[in-house]
Chain A
Amino acid sequence: MPAEPRGAESRVGRGETDFTRIYVLVVIGEILAIAGLYWLGRYFS
Chain B
Amino acid sequence: MSAIDWGIVVAYLVWMVWDGLRLSRRTNEVEGYFLASRSLPWWAVGLSVMATQLSAITMTSTTGLGYQDGMRFIQFYFGLPLAMIILSLTVVPFFYRAKVYTAYEYLERRFDLKTRTLTSVLFLLSRGLSCSVIIAAPAVILSIVLGWNLTLTVLAIGMPTAIYTMIGGVQAVTWTDVKQMVIIVAGLVAAVVVLIINLPDGMSVGSALQVAGVTGRTKALDFTFDVNTTYTFWSGLIGGLFLSLSYFGCDQSQVQRYLTAKSVDEGRHSLLMSAFAKIPLQALVLLIGVLMFVFFLFTKAPMIFDDAAKARVEASPRAGEYRALEEEYDRAFDARRQAAQDLSATVGAGPVVPQARDTFIDADARVKNVRDRAIAIVRDVKQDAKYTDVNYVFPTFVVKHLPIGLVGLLIAAIFAAAMSSIAAELNSLATATVIDVYKRHFRREAEDSHYLFVSKLSTALWGLFTCVMALYAANLGSLIEVVNRFGSFFYGSILGVFILALGVKRATGTGAFIGLIAGMTTVGLAAYYSGMSFLWHNVLGAVTVTVVGLMVSLLSPPVSRPIEPAAR
Q: Which residues of A contact B (CB under 8 A)?
A: 13, 16-17, 19, 22-23, 25-27, 29-30, 33-34, 37-38, 40-41, 43-45
In the complex, A43→B74 CA distance in Å?
18
Residue of A nearest to B268 (CB): A19
Chain B residues with CB under 8 Å of A38's CB are 220-221
Check B85 against A40 for contact (C-beta < 8 Å): no
Check A45 against B78 for contact (C-beta < 8 Å): no
Q: Which residues of B contact A (CB under 8 A)?
A: 71, 74, 78, 81-82, 84-85, 88, 93, 206, 209-210, 212-214, 216, 218-221, 263-265, 268, 272, 275-276, 279-280, 283
Dominant secondary structure at the B interface: helix
Chain A residues with CB under 8 Å of B81's CB are 26-27, 29-30
Check B213 against A16 for contact (C-beta < 8 Å): no
Known: A29-B275, A45-B213. 7 other contacts (CB 8 A): A16-B263, A29-B276, A33-B279, A38-B221, A41-B221, A44-B210, A44-B212
In the complex, A38→B283 CA distance in Å?
13
Dominant secondary structure at the A interface: helix
Q: How far is the CB of B120 from chain A (nearest CB, A)?
A: 28
In the complex, A40→B212 CA distance in Å?
11
Chain B residues with CB under 8 Å of A17's CB are 265
Chain B residues with CB under 8 Å of A23's CB are 85, 88
In the complex, A38→B71 CA distance in Å?
11
Chain A residues with CB under 8 Å of B214's CB are 45
Chain A residues with CB under 8 Å of B280's CB are 33
Check B265 against A16 for contact (C-beta < 8 Å): yes
In the complex, A23→B78 CA distance in Å?
15
Chain A residues with CB under 8 Å of B279's CB are 30, 33
In the complex, A17→B209 CA distance in Å?
42
In the complex, A14→B40 CA distance in Å?
21
In the complex, A22→B272 CA distance in Å?
8
Residue of A nearest to B347 (CB): A44
Residue of A nearest to B84 (CB): A26
Residue of A nearest to B222 (CB): A41
Check B88 against A16 for contact (C-beta < 8 Å): no
The verdict on A37 contacting B220 (CB below 8 Å), with A19-B88, A30-B78, A44-B209 known, is yes
Check A16 against B275 for contact (C-beta < 8 Å): no
Check A44 against B221 for contact (C-beta < 8 Å): no
In the complex, A45→B183 CA distance in Å?
33
Residue of B nearest to A29 (CB): B276
Check B82 against A30 for contact (C-beta < 8 Å): yes
Residue of B nearest to A32 (CB): B279
